[in-house]
Amino acid sequence: MLKVHQHTFNLTAAQCNAQRELAPAMLTQHIIECATEHADILGCGYRRLQADGMAWVLSRLAFEMKRYPGIFEKFTISTWIEDFNRHFSQRNFDIVSAETGETLGYARTIWVAIDLNTRRPANLEAISAIAETVTDRPCPIERPARLRPVAEPTDTRNYQFRLSDIDFNRHVNSARYVELMLNTLTLDDFDSAFLSRFDIEYKLESYFGQEATVSSAISTGRATMDSDIAVEGRHVCLSRSVMTPRAVPYSKI
Amino acid sequence: MLKVHQHTFNLTAAQCNAQRELAPAMLTQHIIECATEHADILGCGYRRLQADGMAWVLSRLAFEMKRYPGIFEKFTISTWIEDFNRHFSQRNFDIVSAETGETLGYARTIWVAIDLNTRRPANLEAISAIAETVTDRPCPIERPARLRPVAEPTDTRNYQFRLSDIDFNRHVNSARYVELMLNTLTLDDFDSAFLSRFDIEYKLESYFGQEATVSSAISTGRATMDSDIAVEGRHVCLSRSVMTPRAVPYSKI
């Protein structure tokens, strides 16, 4: 079985963010896509789990980037399984420039399966064969952090989930939460610095029409931001962003 | 010179909307990407225009779809130039399922060039060689409609443009306006019907931090919706959506 799956992307102009780079939310989506593709190839994807009344749910994600792919740059995301048991699967990633060969960053994810009827954690024993694909390929970044809700927000705003926020599972899209939290920051923040580390913990699903509150605490100097999104008084996800100054600030064209 | 440019896409699960289809805003983005790629190949892309202090601006877009690509479906967008003069370029598209060979829909776009300093329309004479690539390949849909602002809105809401709304040109992303306007509709609307025709006219650029008002008038029976987005009292874009009932309503999983 193919222990490492690779997907090469081409960052088109239309996909770039304001700094002409891959946006962190798009990186998140690509990471989820690569995981999904590899799981499909290994015969343990959504369709296989659905046959057993289960579905994969992304529980935690962390990524650390030295640099984001730039406009017109080709880059390859590789993914592999570091650990697997009947409770969860731990899947890692690296992101490499296909142009320069430079490793741009790494990501770690933790996936659980839920029972589609009870929405409770399911037992992954039925697909334990994928334990054979576990590999010790290195992923030299810290594991996804345990996060807490924001105690004293410096910024709070409301947002109602609408049509374009909903994914094929009828939940709010995992990458959309990343956008909503990073949208607390400004263009100036991303012109002068870049998101060097991002941790997110997905706790609950949320749905079309729900009213969410996005709360964030930005540190003095704007080097870190803790965020959470709450719906009906319950936290649906938590995140922590670390911003590192750019060697050269992005210059507007 | 290559008169027809083609790009084949694969609709991954992560990219699907709630009906497990290509979302209209993503179709818009793909159309823009294909246009950009072809212009680059023809030597009249953003980089060529930028050298002359100009940039392409999408002025009007219309598409008509019989069906949207579904989850895991491969589809090909072909693009070609129908008309070109020193004021504008008219570029058409068809969208074909790479699995069934079925033509899923057509699109028409009108592009103008602006002078990057004055933000006024520029003269395209410098790239008049691309007139040689004009072809009469058929595009059997009506030209993009002339639209008017909404006279009597049935739905109005405010939205502030944030980080994730901004594109590589530091303007609000063209596809994002499509999302914002269609977000006036509901999941139920898209479960029972699909967007069979969409016209949009881009009138002004808008920017990070600006407060927008999205106004829509939905017809009785919800078969059509006229929308506009206004910033500081000026209309930045206008659209018209036509919804056609699905043969079989989308059934939630």
Q: Which residues of A touch B209 (CB under 8 A)?
A: 186
* DSSP-assigned letter for residue A209: T
Q: Is the CB of B148 inside 8 Å of chain A's CB atoms?
A: no
Q: Judge contact between B54 and B74, C-beta under 8 A.
A: no
CB atoms A17 and B252 under 8 Å: no
One digit per residue, the tens of pLDDT, for chain A of length 253 reads 799 999 999 998 888 999 999 999 999 999 999 999 999 999 888 888 888 899 899 999 999 999 999 999 999 999 999 999 888 999 999 999 999 999 999 999 999 998 988 888 888 888 888 889 999 999 999 999 999 999 999 999 999 999 999 999 899 999 999 999 999 999 999 999 999 999 999 999 999 999 999 999 999 999 999 999 999 999 999 999 999 999 999 986 5
CB atoms B36 and A12 under 8 Å: yes
Q: What is the pLDDT of residues B143-157, one digit of tens each?
A: 999 999 999 999 999
- As a whole number of angstroms, the distance between CA A11 and CA A96 comes to 13
Question: Considering only alpha carbons, which residue of chain B is nearest residue A46?
Answer: B13
Q: Judge contact between B25 and A164, C-beta under 8 A.
A: yes
Phi-psi sector, A195: left (phi>0), alpha (psi -120 to 50), beta: beta
Helix pair B24-41, B174-182: axis angle to 10 deg: 160
pLDDT at B82: 97
Strand order in the sheet with A54-65: A5-10, A74-84, A88-97, A103-115, A54-65, A193-202, A234-245, A224-231, A211-218, A155-160
pLDDT tops 70 at residue B252: no
Q: What is the largest CA-CA distance in chain A?
A: 54
- As a whole number of angstroms, the distance between CA A145 and CA A140 comes to 15
Question: Considering only alpha carbons, which residue of chain B is nearest residue A170?
Answer: B18
pLDDT at B60: 98
Q: What is the pLDDT of residues B45-74, one digit of tens each?
A: 888 888 889 989 999 999 999 999 999 999
* Six-digit token string for A74: 């080709």
Residues facing B230 on adjacent strands: B213, B235
Q: What is the pLDDT of residues B195-250, one digit of tens each?
A: 999 999 999 999 999 999 999 999 999 999 999 999 999 999 999 999 999 999 99
Of B13, B164, B167, the CB nearest to A168: B13
The SS3 of residue B47 is helix
- State the count of interchain CB pairs (< 8 A) between A and B: 105
pLDDT at B63: 98
Q: Which residues of B touch A253 (CB under 8 A)?
A: 169-170
Q: What is the pLDDT of residues B72-115, one digit of tens each?
A: 999 999 999 999 988 899 999 999 999 999 999 999 999 999 89
Q: Is the CB of A37 inside 8 Å of chain B's CB atoms?
A: yes
Q: Which residues of B touch A15 (CB under 8 A)?
A: 29, 33
Q: Is the CB of B39 inside 8 Å of chain A's CB atoms?
A: no
Q: Is the CB of B210 inside 8 Å of chain A's CB atoms?
A: no
pTM value is 0.95
* Six-digit token string for A223: 């080097």
- As a whole number of angstroms, the distance between CA A97 and CA A115 comes to 38
Q: Is ipTM beyond 0.85? A: yes
Q: Is the CB of A36 inside 8 Å of chain B's CB atoms?
A: yes
